Amino acid sequence: MLPTSLLLSLIAGPAQAGSIATAGITGGLESGAATPNVAAIMYNPAALGGAKGFQVMVDGQISFIGLNVTTTRNGGVDPNTGATYQPATARAIVPNSVVGLSWAAIPDRLTLGLAAYDPFVGGGDYTSTETGTVPPYTGHQRYQIINTTILTLAIEPAVAVTVVDGFHVGGGVSYVLDSISVLQASDPLGTEGINASELGQAVPDNPYALDTYLAGDSSGHHFGWNAGIFIDKWDYLRVGLSYSGGGAFTTSGDGSVTVPEDLSTISGGVVVPAKVNIDFPLPPIARLYLDSQVTDKLNLGVGIDYQMWNVCCGGESGDIAIGLTNTQGGAIGPDDGVTIEIATDQYSPRRLWNSMDISQLGGVQINHDLWAGWRLMYNQNAVPDYAVSPSNLDFQNVGFALGGKYKLTNALTVGLSYTKYVLFTRNITDSAWDLRDGNARFSPELPYKAGTNGSYGGHVDTLGVRIGLAM
């Protein structure tokens, strides 16, 4: 059986610290666990208790993400050609949006809310600056993900109850639709086309002739929940505290495995229809936000989003698991025209530690109609240095957001925002993905699997538009 971690592992490309969190700030730069607007349905349903009357929010953002990746694999030299590896890039355009409403059904006692938003969005399209190499895919990223797209849509009803004036509790339950599209390449013998004869294969003239490709589209759903408290008894200090459950992102669907002629009993190679199942746990998140109306015109706040990745993903149970079979449910192998047998259970180890996003936010009411605000952010890594690979990137980053809102009428408001993240460059050596004893999923010990060391950097730019209606 083919060693599992040498073939077709999968992980979402990063949009922000937290691995698969959306890059934008859902609901706009002033939203958080202590902000009584519609976005509270995601951050802290209890904060709906501070919302008055009937409110509608439509907030749409688009992030432009750029990653730059180099490698130190094999001393930075392609073992097939002797040429120096050139930098690879990943580019992604990532949406982030929320559409929702809140209604004070019983004024000052009961508020209802309903929102649709995309909580987990990511992926990337990897290309390379290398030219003149063997098609269809070039560069050292050929043995990592070529491109991945993750899209989700959450529908969440929520309720907030005012226990006593100034003290609210609330909760919500979300139904999340999940969709993943992936194209990934691998060298299933782990040789990059060299020394194949040692494994009983003829050495091909083309060093990339053993490249095998997995293409798949899968979809599914999962449930989530969050709950919290909100205290707004005093203008000078409002407090929001919430907790979101973890759950698991689970999809299944159809795909194909393209096997080259050198690994096939069929002339010209074979494309094997496949069934693909993808499952990976998600972390619980705790949020604490403090907000103060310092003066009639000045508002200041601070917030912490603490992602407990170690709870879900500190060991083997948190690995991204991929089930890969033929259409009959068996292992892809000789019966499908493939000279090797591909393991039905694939794993992408994560071994993530907890991470934290810290924000300082504020705003100024310039006049009756115009508001301007800002947000300063620091996001901590969720992935330890030894666990970083070209397909498992997560970054420490700093960022800022600027925006404004203008009241067109007493009820209708429009806003614009711009967010910039600068990702700290990470230089990784002695990464730890390998197959110790032939079957271990992960090891921080020698020998380290080739292909994971490198230098990683990038940036994220986000533009946002918001429309609000308050009645």
Domain of 245, CATH number, reads 2.40.160.60
- Give the separation between CA 144 and CA 395, rounded to whole angstroms: 18
- Give the separation between CA 196 and CA 209, rounded to whole angstroms: 11
pLDDT (tens digit per residue) in 50-100: 999 999 999 998 888 887 777 665 566 665 566 776 667 777 788 888 999
SS3 43: helix
Place of tokens 């083997």: 316
- Give the separation between CA 251 and CA 152, rounded to whole angstroms: 11
pLDDT for residue 318: 80
Q: Go through 174-191 and write b for each residue having 16 or more CB atoms within 10 A of its CB, e for each that does not.
A: bebebbbbbbbbbbbbbb
Nearest one of 243, 237, 109, 100 to 165, comparing CA atoms = 109
Nearest one of 322, 360, 78, 124 to 214, comparing CA atoms = 322
pLDDT for residue 72: 62
Percent of the chain's residues with pLDDT above 90: 41
Q: Tell me how many domains the chain contains.
A: 1
Phi first, then psi: what are they for 210, rounded to 5°?
A: -90, 0
**Residue range(s) defining the domain that contains residue 368:** 4-470
- Give the separation between CA 287 and CA 28, rounded to whole angstroms: 17
- Give the separation between CA 171 and CA 225, rounded to whole angstroms: 7
Q: Go through 140-166 and write b for each residue having 16 or more CB atoms within 10 A of its CB, e for each that does not.
A: bbbbbbbbbbbbbbbebbbbbbbeeee
- Give the separation between CA 330 and CA 184, rounded to whole angstroms: 21
pLDDT for residue 297: 94
Low pLDDT (below 50) residues in the chain: 1-20, 132-135, 193, 195-196, 434-437, 446-451
- Give the separation between CA 391 and CA 413, rounded to whole angstroms: 41
pTM of the entire predicted model:
0.85
Cα 400 vs. chain centroid, distance in angstroms?
20
- Give the separation between CA 383 and CA 352, rounded to whole angstroms: 5
Nearest one of 26, 101, 14 to 65, comparing CA atoms = 14
Q: How far is CA 145 from CA 36, 135, 365, in A?
A: 41, 16, 47
